[in-house]
Every structure is written in structure tokens, then in C-alpha cells.
Amino acid sequence: MAQNQDTRVAEMPDDGLQRSLYVGDFDDADQPIDRIRAAVDLTKEAAHAISITALEAVREGARFMGVIGSRGELVNPFRHIDAAIWTEPDVPDHMIETAYEYCEELTRREAGNFYHSFKYLPETERRAIMAYYAFCRRADDIADGDFVDIFPGGSSDDPESVDYRAKIERLSPGKPVLDRSTYNDKMSQLFYYRKKLSTSYGDITSTDPIFIAIKDTVRTFDIHRQLLDDMISGMENDFHRNRYQTFEDLYSYCYRVASTVGLVCIEIYGYDDPRARESAESWGVFMQLINIIRDVAEDAERDRIYLPIEDLARWGITEEDVKSGKALMDHPGWTPFVKEYLERAEGYRGRAFKLLPMLDKSSRYSPAAMMFFYQSIMKKIIKRDGDVFTERVQLSKTEKMLLAAYVYVRFRFLGL
């Protein structure tokens, strides 16, 4: 498997912008705000710990093995442990297996189309990708949903959390775009989420099943922490910014919340050609651009406009126009704006598809399925002349089945 070792600069011919690929540049975070984030760590001395030997774990095995409750709900198999960490150097194998089972069940319930693309991966890769999905899903649920993460001993009033939050706010590009109470709570939860992540790269282990599985995954596939940290940072940035003036601004956001995902995934899928990292970065940007245009009305209702203000203005479209919802379809600039926007997305789609032949054959189906699904959504938006307001642009069950069958035959049966 290729390792993250080099930093390169890639020319992006579609829009004439030169972008620095952060891939492999993990040694120094060169911005003060990134240094603060990178320094977040959890130590034995900083949290209530429980020491569980393998023998004790076996004795308690019946209490660890269930991830589905009596009513069919997903439950934390380690929920009875009122401690943030264990101090054992190695977590017993059956607990790691249970943690992976938890992540797989979470993925099955939440991932929809993605789950079906994951399940055909080889066993080790399948478990790892679902653990990583669970990590991303939970972070997103904290940042953009109503999920409240549990960290024994942690709260938004904890001095360490308050200090971290104050430093990030001071160095961020804008004031919080959330109300103060929500901002404090979510920033605090992501702070402790980042602390849990630190245990995946240290000599202690979180009692959270997601991070038990993630620790095993990052060790197995040698995944650098910065990629996972950057994803959390992208979500924190969302608390400070709800407008993007230029495409360059938007690209930075897309890199953190989406390109990092592609870059982690290819470490799990396996590749030999270092150019795969450039394509993986484009893969994330492509999918995020499609998400943004598809969800423009929903985002605008939350006072979030991800479409570059500068690009909208060239077509005479104002922020108020974007907030008008379906009425935007009557604006003479909307259809040409969407055409231009999707032409740019098409450039990233083209580079993303170049990734597939660089991946291990046994893993190609998974990213191929995701790429084809998003390509189909893009085609639907084009066919509808940019109407993403009348109804949500998505594939029907029949369309999904036919597309999945095509991708399956092409990338698993024929091995293309």
C-alpha cells in the first residue's frame, strides 16, 4: 500500500486555479489555528480511566456482545462503563470485534447507498471503511444534527474546553454563526470528539466503540491523524462561516469535509500509484459540489449559502435570490449559473474517475458505485435545467438497483 510521504502542487486546468495538495504534509500545521487543533490530546492523567484485563473482559463478555437493544435500537455495547478510557495497552480481540459490529450496524442504518457499496469489500477493508464511516457520521450528527456526544467528565463548562473554544473563535475568520449556547455545546462536543481521536494514535484507548474500531483501523492501514483531524476542523469552520465569497474559499471547505474522506478511503482500498491521491482529492470535491447544488434550498433555509457569492454575482444573483427558493428558477441567471457550476464539477468528476484503475481490483466497486450514483444525480440536475427546488433530486429505487447492477458487473465481475 502506498504511504503518505510527499507534498505536491497540482494544476487544476478546469478553472485555472492552482491548489496545494495537503496530502502527505503532516509534519507541521503551519497555521496557528491548526496548531491548536493538532495539540488536542487525551492523557491517562486527564480522564477517569478503567483498567480491564483480558480475563475480566472475558468474564464480562456477555455484557459486551450486544449492539442491538431489545426494541431493535442501536446501543453502545460499552455503555455501562462510566469512564473515558481504558489503560490496557491492548484491547481484547472480542471487544474490538464488537466495536466493529457496532460501526457496521450504524452504517447499515445510516449510510443508505454507501452501505451497499461497502459490503462487497474484502472483510478487513469492509470493517475498516464502516468504522471510518461511523466516525464521520457521528461527527456530522454532532455538528449538523441533534446528537449529543457523551464524554464522561466532559462538559462545555470545563476550563480546558472553554480555553480551546476561545482560542479557536479568536483565530477563526468570522464570529460564530450559531447562537451562543448552541455554539458552546457543539464546539465542546467536537473538542472532546477530537480528544477521543487522539487516543487512536496513543497508548490509551477510548471506551467509545467507534474509536476502538478507528484505533484498529488507523493502525492497520497507517492512516495519518491529520486527515481525520481536518474533517473535524471543517465542521468547526462551519460554525464560523455561512458564506463563501470565492470558489477558492469553497474549495478549502470541500477539501476538509470531503477530500479528506476520499484520501482516507484510498488508504483502505489500497493503491500503488501516488497519483491516486490527486484523484481522491478531486473525488471528494466532486461529490461535495453535487451535494451543495442539490441541497441549496435546504441550506438557504438555515441561512447557509455555499455557492460562491462572487460567481452568483456575475449572473446577477443575490443572496436574497438564493433564499427565495423555487422563485430562483425564474431568475434569468440561475440556469446559466448552474450550467457553469456543473461544468466545473464535471472537471473534478473526470479526475475522480481516473482513480478507479489505480485502486486494488477487489476494492474498485465501492468507490465506483458512489461515483456513478453522484454522476447520475448531476445528470438529473442538468436535465431539470437546475431545478433543485420542486423536489429533492435523487435516484428511484429502480434506478439505484439498475445502476448498482451495472457497476457490479463492470467492476467486480469483469474487473474493469
239-275 per-position pLDDT tens digit: 999 999 999 999 999 999 999 999 999 999 999 999 9
Mean pLDDT value across residues 330-352: 98
* Residue 5 pLDDT grade (very low, low, confident, very high; cuts 50, 70, 90): very low
Residue 84 in contact with residue 42, Cβ under 8 Å? yes
Lowest mean pLDDT segment, chosen from 27-36, 131-140, 330-339, 386-395: 27-36
* Residue 387 pLDDT grade (very low, low, confident, very high; cuts 50, 70, 90): very high
**Nearest 5 degrees, angle CA 282-CA 288-CA 289?**
90
Residue 358 in contact with residue 271, Cβ under 8 Å? yes
Mean pLDDT value across residues 75-95: 82
Lowest mean pLDDT segment, chosen from 2-16, 195-209, 282-296: 2-16
Mean pLDDT value across residues 281-304: 97
* Residue 47 pLDDT grade (very low, low, confident, very high; cuts 50, 70, 90): confident
Residue 67 pLDDT: 87
Residue 305's nearest CA partner among 392, 177, 140, 182 is 177
Angle (deg, nearest 10), helices 209-221 and 123-144 = 130
Distance CA 172, CA 169 (A): 5
Segments making up each domain of the chain, as ranges: 1-27+244-416, 31-241
Three-state SS at 342:
helix
Other C-beta atoms closer than 10 Å to the C-beta of 368 total 22
DSSP code at position 409: I
Distance CA 135, CA 283 (A): 19
Is the domain spanning 1-27+244-416 CATH 3.40.50.300? The answer is: no
* Residue 364 pLDDT grade (very low, low, confident, very high; cuts 50, 70, 90): very high
Mean pLDDT value across residues 150-171: 85
Residue 413 pLDDT: 66
Stated length of the chain: 416
Judge whether residue 8 has pLDDT over 70: no
Residue 62 pLDDT: 44
Residue 88 pLDDT: 74
Percent of the chain with pLDDT over 70: 87
* Residue 28 pLDDT grade (very low, low, confident, very high; cuts 50, 70, 90): very low
